[in-house]
Amino acid sequence: GENVEQHPSTLSVQEGDSAVIKCTYSDSASNYFPWYKQELGKGPQLIIDIRSNVGEKKDQRIAVTLNKTAKHFSLHITETQPEDSAVYFCAASRLSGGYNKLIFGAGTRLAVHP
């Protein structure tokens, strides 16, 4: 069935360092890959997304890369700040005719230490 694996489950970095979170998806028909950040007591917030016709996308300190052949996608956060501390979720979806069922990874708890 559809599955998304996410690693690592926890990540601890020093402020200013980079953080990388990796995901693997099983459904080769997946074509949409969003990343969400969830802070304590809040709902998931979209931080960046990528579609299968693009290999890389960047937004300031955040970048996402996609390798369709290997069915891998990764989130890269540079120059981390304490406010980046949160749980990050990757997800995959097969967009088609308004159908948009997100399959989420298990999440990565990122701690950025000052």
- Hey, CA dihedral for 25, 89, 77, 53, is it positive or negative? positive
Report if residue 30 touches another protein, rule: CB under 8 A.
no
Report if residue 44 touches another protein, rule: CB under 8 A.
yes
C-beta of 44 vs 85, nearer to another protein: 44
Q: How far apart are CA 71 and CA 55, in angstroms?
A: 12
What's the closest the beta carbon of residue 10 comes to another protein, in angstroms?
15
C-beta of 25 vs 80, nearer to another protein: 25
Q: Alpha carbon of 88 to those of 1, 23, 82, 96, 103: distances in Å? A: 23, 11, 14, 25, 14
The letter for the amino acid at 112 is: V
Report if residue 26 touches another protein, rule: CB under 8 A.
no
Report if residue 29 touches another protein, rule: CB under 8 A.
no
Binding residues (CB under 8 A) for another protein: these are 32, 34, 36, 42-46, 49, 51, 89, 91, 93, 95, 98-107
